[in-house]
Amino acid sequence: MNETHVTVVGRIISEPQLRQTRNDVEVANFRLASNERRFDKESQQWIDGDSLYVDVTCWRRLAFGVHACLAKGDPVVVTGRLYTRGFEVDGKRRSVTEMEATSVGPDLARCTLNVHRRRDGRPGEGGTVDQTGPADQQNAEREEEQLAVAA
């Protein structure tokens, strides 16, 4: 069977939920929305197009990282295996689009962040190193200036 691997750019529309399976394997779930937005030359305006809603599942280290770092509303880039699961409700056939993520990260075209890299590679334990530098300080100063101007 061929697997469909895709990358979806969008926003998290539900708080990531972390749980453990009976075998103590961490799994996180969240819902992702990807909205088409394009410029209409006739009206000279940006218009919204179709939307894609996907239920995303993350396993093990990725589950821990998603739950620890991301929240509802965050812009993300998600790569993984896309599939459709069918089920029946009140005698009617339904389906839902799901994605088993292999990688999840913030969309740096729409946000900024400070990176904390793990030296030991194990989730939930020490060993984090702040990889911030002068650029992060400049971003923080710019954000403060923008907030002051907006106020």
Structure tokens at 92: 């009617």
Confidence band, pLDDT 50/70/90 cuts, at residue 79: very high
Q: Model-level pTM?
A: 0.70
pLDDT given for residue 49 in this prediction: 86
Q: Which of these CATH numbers, 3.40.50.620, 3.20.20.105, 3.30.460.80, 2.40.50.140, describes 4-38+47-111?
A: 2.40.50.140
pLDDT number for residue 80: 96
Lowest mean pLDDT among 20-24, 120-124, 128-132, 142-146: 128-132
Give yes or no for a contact between 82 and 97, defined as CB atoms under 8 angstroms apart: yes
pLDDT the model gives residue 140: 52
Instruction: List Cα–Cα distances, 17 to 12, 62, 94, in angstroms.
Output: 12, 13, 24
Domain chopping of the chain, boundaries:
4-38+47-111
